[in-house]
Structure 1
Amino acid sequence: MPEDLLRCAREARGFMPEDEGDLLFAEAVRRAPHGPLLEVGTWCGKSAVYLGAAVRVAREVGNADAVAFTVDHHRGSEENQPGWEYHDPTLVDAHDGRIDTLPFFRRTITEAGLEDEVVAVVGRAPLVARHWRTPLAMLFIDGGHTDEHVTNDYLGFGRWVMPGGTLVFHDVFEHPEDGGQAPWRCYRRALTSGSWEEIEALGSMRILRRVQGEPGDPT
C-alpha cells in the first residue's frame, strides 16, 4: 500500500485493526480490476482509504473503471449514540445534537486525495439496497451490528456480488465475551447457504467467495 495512503488510513478515526486493514486492502486489490467495490458502513472513512488505495493501484495498471462506493447515513450505529460504549461527543453536530460523521469522512478522503476513487452514497442501507442493481466484485459489510442491520446488508447487497466475487464481514466474534454476535450469526448463515465458501480469516475479519448464483439472485 502506498506509504502516504497507509499513513492516512492509520491516522483516520475508526475501529479497524492495522492487520485487518492490510487484509482488506489486499483483497480489494485482487478484486478491484473485476468490478466495483462496495462497503456498507464507513464511519469517518478509515476503511474507505484502504479501498480507495486499492482502486488507485488498479487504475495505475490500466483498470480505468475501478471504483469504490461507500454507503452510510453518517448518523452512527447504536453503539455510537450518547450513553453507549463507543460514543464520541466530538462527532456530535452542535446544531441538532446528532452524530454526524459526514464532514469527518469527507476530510479523511480529501486529505488522502481519493475523491475520484471513493464515491460516497449518503443514505440508509436498506433504502439504497432496494435500488442497487450493479454487480459487485467485492462487498464489505461493516455497518450496524444488530441482527436486523447485518442481515439487511447481507440480503440487500450480497445478492449483487458476482460469481467469484468476495463478501467480507467485519467484527465477527464466535464467543460473546469477545464481541457482539450478530455479524457471527450472519456470517454463519452465509456459509451454510451454499452460495459462499470461506477463503481467508484474520482477527474478526472473514472473507467469503461466491461460488453459486448470479448477480441479483438471492443469497
Structure 2
Amino acid sequence: MIVPPHDELQGWLSDAEAAELVRQTRGKTVLEVGTWKGRSAVVMALNGAARVVCVDHFRGDAYAGAADTLADWRRQVEVFGVRDRVHVLVGDFRAVLPLLALAAFEVIYYDADHEYEPTRDALRLALAAAPGAVMCVHDYAAGYPQVIRAVDEAAAGTGRRVRVIDTLAVLETP
C-alpha cells in the first residue's frame, strides 16, 4: 500500500484508516465529500480506486482553519500522478450532491462539515440515493460528537452496522 508521509501530503488520515479506505475502494468509483488538500483522494487513487470524484468548497472550516486549499489539492493530484483518476467539483456539497447521480458511486466517503445537521443531511441523501454504496465517514471520534450522532442515527435508520477503524466509521450494509 502506498501512503505518502504527512510532510509530503498533508491530511489527518492514519495508516489504519488509509488501509481500510484502500480495501473499500480498490477498483471502485468513489465520491469523496470534503477533500481539503487531497490526502485521502490521492491515497485511494494510488492504491487502485478506479475513479475518485471530490466535492469541496476549498475554503477550510473551523476545524482545519480558513484557507483556500484548491491550489494545494491540484498540486498534490499532479505531483502524485493521479490526475487521470481524481476529479474535482468545486462548491458547497449541500448544493452539489443533489445534482449528482449518486447511485453511480460504489463508495461514498464523507469528511466535510463536522456539525450535526450537514453531516446528517449528507448521509441521508447519500444513503437514500445510493443504498448499495459503502459509506465511510471520517472523524467519528470523541472530539466530534456531532459526527458520531449523525452516523449513529443514519446507521440505525438503515439497519447498517458501524465498524470503526481509528476515527473512520464504515457503515456496513445489512
What TM-score, normalized by structure 1, do the two folds share?
A: 0.72
1:78 to 62, 68, 83: 62
Amino acid at match of 2:31: L
Instruction: State the identity %.
Output: 24
Q: Which of 145, 151, 167 in structure 1 is aligned with 2:114?
A: 145
Checking the alignment, whether the CA contact within 8 Å between 1:72 and 1:123 is kept in structure 2 is yes
Question: Structure 2: which amino acid aligns with 1:79?
Answer: Y
Q: Choose the corresponding residue for 2:41, options 33, 36, 48.
A: 48
Larger Rg, first or second structure (1 or 2): 1
Contact between 2:136 and 2:171, CA under 8 Å: does it hold in 1?
yes
- Normalized against structure 2, the TM-score is what? 0.89
Unpaired runs of 5+ in structure 2? none
2:88 aligned partner: 120
Is the alpha carbon distance of 1:27 and 1:20 closer, same or farther for their aligned partners in structure 2, counting shifts above 3 Å? Answer: same
* Counterpart secondary structure, 1:144: coil
Is residue 187 from structure 1 mapped to residue 155 from structure 2 by the alignment?
no
One-letter amino acid matched to 1:116:
D
Which residue of 1 is the match for residue 8 of structure 2?
Answer: 11
CA separation in 2, counterparts of 1:52 and 1:10? 19
1:48 maps to a residue whose letter is A
Q: What do the CA deviations read for 1:176-212 (whole angstroms, capped 9, x no partner)? A: xx302111001111221134233x321111111334x
Q: Give the secondary-structure state (helix, strand or coil) at the position aligned to 1:130.
A: helix
Assess if the C-alpha contact under 8 Å between 1:25 and 1:51 holds in 2: yes
Q: Give me the CA root mean square deviation.
A: 2.0
Shift of 1:10: 6.9
Q: Which residue of 2 aligns with 1:210?
A: 173
